[in-house]
Structure 1
Amino acid sequence: MKPFVIFLISLFITLTIRGVFAFEIVKTPTNKNSLAPNLCSFGNHFALSWIERNTDGEARLQMATWNGSEFDEIRLIAKSKGMFANWADIPSLVEAPSGDLYAHWLNRIGNETYAYGIQIERSIDHGKSWQSLGWLHNDTSATEHGFVSLIPENRHVRAFWLDGRQMKKPTGKMMLRTAILDGNKIKSENMLDDDVCTCCPTGAIQLPSGSAVVYRDRLPQEVRDISLVHLKNDAWSKPCRIQKDNWVMPGCPVNGPSIATNGNIIAVSRFTVINNKAKIILRLFKDGKAESGEEIILDENVPVGRCVTVCSENAVYNIWIGDDKKQTVLRMAEVSLSGKIKRKITLVPIDKDRSSGMPRAIFSNNYLWVSWTGSNQVRLGRLKANIETGD
């Protein structure tokens, strides 16, 4: 064997041992019949939230914090026999600038399958106890309210969600709405877009110029492209398409965008169909300049989608459900800040159907953490960040 080949094999083994390429499965405190995992920054580490369903029909939203080596004890956020436990519309948790925690979960409003609303919980003692703040929205009609994004904004928390109150009417449309969580108050509710896709997850970030939200829009002739709305100078922008894919889709694909930033660049990932070909595309741009961004195609091999994107100081990480040798898997692409694909790898096999849920990810302490649902239980894995920092 040639010396150079031996060197490459040795280097690969060394990097794998160091965890550069190895995706490590991490034990979670979840049980069977758990689903809807989510991750959020919390203190110096992160918190995992999830739903567990009991045999008596009660569902429990729970959380546990990672302390650097393992998870601390499980904390109960909320429980209800009316909790809407769903593979796509999942609860979330966020730490406010004050240190308070806010969580959202979905509670049934009526007897219709998708008649549910958004309940908000607040903790002022790091998740040990929780106070209900009630409905996020000022409407309690028996229609769909969900697909929430919670982000820190200045000294409070900003919420975005899809709101179906107008869908009581035969010609009613799904809306995108927003409100502020400030202490124990929910205030400043506004409508941002009056016609959006009915059941695709949203994504949001805080920028120096103001908060921004991405979502799947619903345009004339049933075009389902990704749009962005941005708060700047205390005013919301009009919806702006990230890119004119012109994907015509008569129904909701349940496949929303993801947005992340490291302060220097903004990254938006999306599943789309262009000329009858499914794609995963990452778009990189500067604050307020989405129309001039760079497009990086990550996958054209019949991907399922369900993207999630996170940023480190030196790179952008994108995770999605894709195909590897005719097997459904979680895929990951690491992209430099200049748009160069540094590596694309398969993380783990995953169920292709809805039982795998919505993958979620977070970057914490030089690890990329990824959650999903597998074999009827919440799963978690981590990948060591690339030791390289350049392009």
Structure 2
Amino acid sequence: MFLLLRTILLWSVVVFCVSCKQKNNKDSSVSSETTKVEFIENPSEENSALPRLFGSENGLFFSWVETKDTTDFLKYSVLKDASWESVETVTSGTDWFTNWADFPVIAENNGSILTNILQRSANGTYTYDIKLNLFSSETQRWNKNFILHKDGTKSEHGFVSMQPYGEESFFITWLDGRNTTGGHEGHDQHSSAGAMTLRSAVVHTDGSIANETELDSKVCDCCNTAAAITSKGPIVAYRDRSDEEIRDVSILRWENNKWTAPQTLGNDAWKIAGCPVNGPAISAIDASVAVAWFTGANELPKVYAAFSEDNGATFKNPIRMDSSEAVGRVDIALITATEAVVCWLETDGAQTYIMASKISDDGEKGEAIEIANIESGRSSGFPQMELYNDKLYFAWTEFSKEKQPFIKMSYLAIEQL
């Protein structure tokens, strides 16, 4: 468990209106004072956390969860150019599974919006369902709180990823614990029950759900999933799990009207007897794909990125991104077909930092930019980074003097990388 505790360092995303500066304990690749991270206001209020970002031609979509007394509210707003639209409450409840690592996500497709909540289905710690909320651009109405999966088991369903797919649908993937029923008292404690699975489906803008499929019958229990759409179709990145407890990152691709077999990235051979709560990130532009991931193999925590130019069929050699002891919690965004920006957390032993760096598919790295100095607790959440209008936007959770959570945001112009 020592390795598990070591790798489950926490993270979040924070950013000030400050000049990013070179820290004495970081190497010479860290950015100089000429780089600016600009703070921006956002429409969330106090007692808000779990920010998610999604950028499209229709704006930067920002969702979060606000808690008042015992009620959770899923809210969102849209940044268009430099102005936020009015805040909308999608849904609320007193029986949600509200968790630092498993949280609602949001996506938009031609004016239709898809998001989700996690609603408890029984009294168990990890018994909850994925409920979808879909706004139709055609009807201009919400279809609220309909269930994604049809198994009916009182088990864990979460760690959702979603992407616009085609003109009028969304591709969605998630972790599904239907086979763990009867043995899933805690993560990875399956007894005679089955393992956590990875599943996917297509959600149409009329609310219908098609093509629900099991992608992998045994995966890591609580690492986030990631999905993108290539010129050939969906591609999914996730933390796999072998019978020998090797938990490296794998990808699956939709090609020739079927799913490929899992393909391991990096071959880190990270053997760990519990979930590190540290999944991958993926981005695609047509046939170009970039993946970022964390590994704690050999008790040497690292963050890697790798590129593909053939829809994920093959990948170039992994490139190490961190310069210190990595914490992980990665994000990635392709900015051209051959360049990406990776966001990750690392620590120098005394402080934890959100870092970002541009990387090209030939291995050339830009300056490692310090986005923020953050708290290292679980409640800070996962860093969020999203590309919109030639700027990379960041969102994170901070805390008031009274320990109340609130969300802050900033951006970094691509030209500053």
Common fold, TM-score beyond 0.5? Answer: yes
Do the aligned partners of 2:279 and 2:294 also contact (CA within 8 Å) in 1? yes
For structure 1, which segment, 141-150 or 299-308, has the greater mean C-alpha deviation from structure 2 after superposition? 299-308
Query: Residue in 1 aligned with 2:157?
Result: 145
CA distance in structure 2 between the aligned counterparts of 1:127 and 1:385, rounded to whole angstroms: 37
Q: Percent identity?
A: 30
* Structure 2: gaps of 5 or more residues: 1-30, 183-191, 400-404
For 1:174, give the aligned amino acid. M
Distance 1:71 1:278, change over 3 A: same
Aligned to 1:327: 351
The change in CA–CA distance for 1:188 and 1:263 in structure 2 (over 3 A counts) is closer
Find the aligned partners of 1:298 and 1:27 in 2 and give their Cα distance: 30
Partner SS state of residue 379, structure 1: strand
Note the C-alpha offset of 1:326. 2.9
Please name the residue that 1:117 is paired with.
129
Q: How does 1:216-365 map to 2 (within 5 A)?
A: 216-263=239-286, 265-289=288-312, 291-299=314-322, 301-313=324-336, 315-324=339-348, 326-365=350-389
Question: Counterpart of 1:4?
Answer: none
1:246 partner letter:
A
Deviation at 1:128, TM superposition (A): 7.5
SS of equivalent residue, structure 2 residue 174 = strand
What is the match of residue 11 of structure 1?
none
Where in structure 2 are the equivalents of 1:1-391 lying within 5 Å?
21-55=35-69, 57-96=70-109, 98-125=110-137, 129-132=141-144, 134-155=146-167, 156-169=169-182, 170-182=192-204, 183-263=206-286, 265-289=288-312, 291-299=314-322, 301-313=324-336, 315-324=339-348, 326-375=350-399, 376-386=405-415
Shift of 1:338: 2.8
Q: Offset of 1:311 from its aligned partner?
A: 1.3
Tell me which amino acid in the other structure corresponds to 1:317: V
**Does the 8 Å contact 2:75/2:89 carry over to 1?**
yes
Q: Say if 2:219 and 2:239, in contact at 8 Å, map to a contact too.
A: yes
Structure 1 counterpart SS, 2:244: helix
The 3-state SS of whatever aligns with 2:155 is: coil
Task: Give 3-state SS (helix, strand or coil) of 2:116's partner.
Answer: strand
SS at match of 1:83: coil
Partner of 2:188: none
Matches of 2:382 and 2:152, distance apart in 1: 26
Deviations 1:18-69 (A, max 9, x none): xx711112111112211110001244421100000111x1100000110211
Partners of 1:125 and 1:209 in 2: CA distance: 26
Q: Single out whichever of 181-190 and 210-219 deviates more from structure 2.
A: 181-190
How many pairs does the alignment contain? 370
**What corresponds to 1:7 in structure 2?**
none
CA distance 1:269–1:195, shift in 2 (3 Å): same
Task: Name the CA distance, whole Å, in 2 between partners of 1:128 and 1:41.
Answer: 21
- Displacement, 1:386? 2.1
The normalised TM-score by structure 2 is 0.84
CA contact (8 A) 1:201 1:256 kept: yes
CA offsets per residue over residues 167-201 of structure 1, 9 Å max, x none? 01433100000111012211221100000000000
3-state SS of 1:355 partner: helix
Consecutive unaligned residues in structure 1, runs of 5 or more? 1-14
AA of the residue aligned to 1:58:
T
Residues 59-102 of structure 1 deviation map (CA, whole Å, 9 limit, x = unaligned):
00000110211311101111111122111111111112x43111
Distance 2:398 2:360 in 1: 30
* Shift of residue 162, structure 1, vs aligned partner: 0.2
Relative CO higher for 1 or 2, CA cutoff 8 Å, sep ≥ 6? 2
> Helix, strand or coil: the match of 1:220?
coil
Report the Cα offset of residue 249 of structure 1. Answer: 0.6
Letter in 2 for 1:334: K
Structure 1: which amino acid aligns with 2:196? M
Q: Which deviates further from its counterpart, 303-312 or 169-178?
A: 169-178
Counterpart of 1:41, as a letter, is: G
Q: CA RMSD in A?
A: 2.1
1:358 deviation in Å? 1.0
Pick which of 65-74 and 230-239 moved more: 65-74
